[in-house]
Amino acid sequence: MVAPILDTSGHDDIPNSGLAYPETVVTNGPNELVVLVVQLNSTTPTGVSDSDGNVWHGPVPGFKTNGVLSVYWAAKPLAGTMTMTIAFPSDLHLKLFWFTLQGADLSNPGFAPLTVIGPVQGATLTFGPFTDPNSDDFIFAYGDEVMGAGLAPPTANSPFAILTGDNGGFYSHADWLAYFRQTAPLSNQVFDPLTFPISQQIAGSLAAIRAGTGGPPPPPPIPTKLTVTVTPV
């Protein structure tokens, strides 16, 4: 197999979420993995749903940043547009990011290995040592810098490329994702995926998403029904 391929991505800086916020997602093919990343100051969403009726999983444990980072995922069998609805405990200011992948494992994408950094003072996010015995994972990093809003975007350092990001709002934070498609196993690798324009308080997470066959996700379980037939004697 080859590493999952990035299809689409987007982000939104939301000053007032209300109790539920709609976000439109588009996929160009069937059977794609949708990954949703939500950054809040001190809490998590209360739920995620979508207009296609897909099953959402999360928040995935272990992710870290300045504030609270919540990662969710769903398998999307149908190509086209759908609306995610993210529910919140109150009206909040937040940032959300999403991306879709072709060829990912739709049953158990893994998000492992997972490594985190910070909060620390600096300009470059450094993760590692990072060991991944697979040769076909999609590696992505999320980085947040305090007081980075309004500055130039960060630089993605090889082998990473910018995925999506936002340099405005949210308590003056700059928040960006970067990625690369793995082609060989990794052993005690140190990665510097993003360098911000200034040295400030930074934090973030780096994780791997597994490749899959690209087939449809398993259907939800069907409730069993017991039928009893009584034959007169």
Farthest CA pair distance, the chain: 87
Is residue 227 pLDDT above 50, yes or no?
no
CA distance 179 to 206: 9
CA distance 171 to 146: 8
Each residue of 171-211: pLDDT tens digit?
A: 688 899 999 999 999 999 999 999 999 999 999 999 999 99
Q: What is the mean pLDDT of residues 149-167?
A: 92
Q: Are 185 and 133 in contact (CB under 8 A)?
A: yes
Is residue 216 pLDDT above 90, yes or no?
no
Residue extents of the structural domains in the chain: 5-209
Above pLDDT 70, what percent of the chain?
Answer: 90
pLDDT band at 16 (very low <50, low <70, confident <90, very high): confident
Each residue of 29-71: pLDDT tens digit?
A: 999 999 999 998 788 999 999 999 999 999 999 999 988 999 9
pTM of the prediction? 0.89
- The 8-class DSSP code of residue 209 comes to E
Each residue of 64-81: pLDDT tens digit?
A: 998 899 999 999 999 999
197: region left, alpha or beta (phi > 0 left; psi from -120 to 50 alpha): alpha
Mean pLDDT across the chain, nearest whole number?
A: 89
The confidence score (pLDDT) of residue 41 equals: 78
Supply angle C-alpha 118, 128, 103, rounded to 5. 105
